[in-house]
Amino acid sequence: MKFIYKIIFCAGLLFVMSVINCNSDIVHAQSSTKAQKGLTVSPIRSELEIAPGVSMDGVLTVTNSTKETMVVDLTAESFSVINQQYDYAFTSESEMTKWVSFSDSKIELAAGESKKANYTIGVPLSAEPGGRYISLFASTNMHVDSDSSIVSRQRVASLLYLTVTGKITRSGNLIYLTSPNIVTEKVDWSMVLQNTGTTHFRSRYDVKILSIINNEVVATSQGDALILPGSLRLITDGLPSLKLPGLYKVVYTIGLGDTPARVETRYLFYSSPLVLIFVILIILASIYTAYRLKCRKAKN
């Protein structure tokens, strides 16, 4: 029986450690949301379609959330993504930056003040159809804190997802999908999508969890992600929460731009940690009991 007691102790210890880790993650997430804002812009993102040879006017709202006056510089840079996590790379040496002009590239903001910044995007007549990606930066020098003489450069961006109209394609591929098979708590699923077209598209995905017994939908979730041309994007999202233990079917419907949506089916077993531990202990106890009975028969 000492063997069984050791198993119970280890299982309980693992469960307690998982709870502690979960709580520490929550505390970390809460503390990270307390970061103070200084300079902000809106909108954060815009999706535009402009024909070659046409110009379009836009407006940025620039806000000073500090208690000091600031001078803000407005500039434009092109951007791209450099990995599947969609980290951005910016460059000011691009012909696309010449497409953008500001009515006033330098504005002054009093403490707590917001101002409108007007700009114009002019697409050359010779521009080829497809996606172009431009970042509108607002930059200023800020003191690290009210009692410090140290000055840092803060930059915030409004991203323009621009499509030059014409003969364009939005072609997507599902590279792989990872879905958990055994679930005891809230977990994530992930996929990698590829855009082989000439402009971006928004992949909208739907996740449904169905009972394996009567095929009834018991939980759903939805989401979307922007996929740039010539890139692979890793998308991670949480599975919908389940209440009752059992075997379930998971159906993923994944939008791929102009390509027909992809439907993938996976299966999972769900149980709460305590129930799973209890089941494992019963199985181990049964094996141990069977082994003891076999040993007694062998002695007799």
pLDDT, tens only, 31-80: 333 344 789 999 999 999 999 999 999 999 999 998 889 999 999 999 99
Q: In this structure, are residues 254 and 193 in contact, taking their beta carbons and an 8 Å threshold? A: yes
Q: What is the pLDDT of residue 139?
A: 95
> Which structural domains are found in the chain, ordered by start?
39-164 (2.60.40.10), 169-286 (2.60.40.10)
What stretches of the chain adopt beta strand conformation (E)?
39-42, 45-50, 55-64, 70-81, 88-91, 100-102, 106-109, 114-122, 130-143, 151-164, 172-178, 182-183, 188-195, 201-211, 217-227, 231-238, 246-256, 259-270
CB atoms within 10 A of CB 242: 17
The number of angstroms, rounded, from the C-alpha of 41 to the middle of its chain's C-alpha atoms is 21
CB atoms within 10 A of CB 103: 13
Q: In this structure, are residues 282 and 8 in contact, taking their beta carbons and an 8 Å threshold? A: no
- Omega of the bond leading into 43 within 30 degrees of 0 (cis): yes
Q: What is the pLDDT of residue 299?
A: 72
Tens digit of pLDDT for each residue in 164-192?
999 999 999 999 999 999 998 889 999 99
The number of angstroms, rounded, from the C-alpha of 2 to the middle of its chain's C-alpha atoms is 47
The 3-state DSSP class for residue 204 equals strand
CB atoms within 10 A of CB 254: 19
The number of angstroms, rounded, from the C-alpha of 167 to the middle of its chain's C-alpha atoms is 30
Tens digit of pLDDT for each residue in 116-159?
999 999 999 999 999 999 999 999 987 666 555 677 889 999 99
Residue 99 has what DSSP assignment? G
Residue 78 is which amino acid?
A: S
Q: In this structure, are residues 136 and 107 in contact, taking their beta carbons and an 8 Å threshold? A: no
- pLDDT (mean) for 240-249: 92
The 3-state DSSP class for residue 171 equals strand
Residue 276 has pLDDT above 70, yes or no: no
Q: In what order do the strands lie in the sheet with 172-178?
A: 172-178, 188-195, 231-238
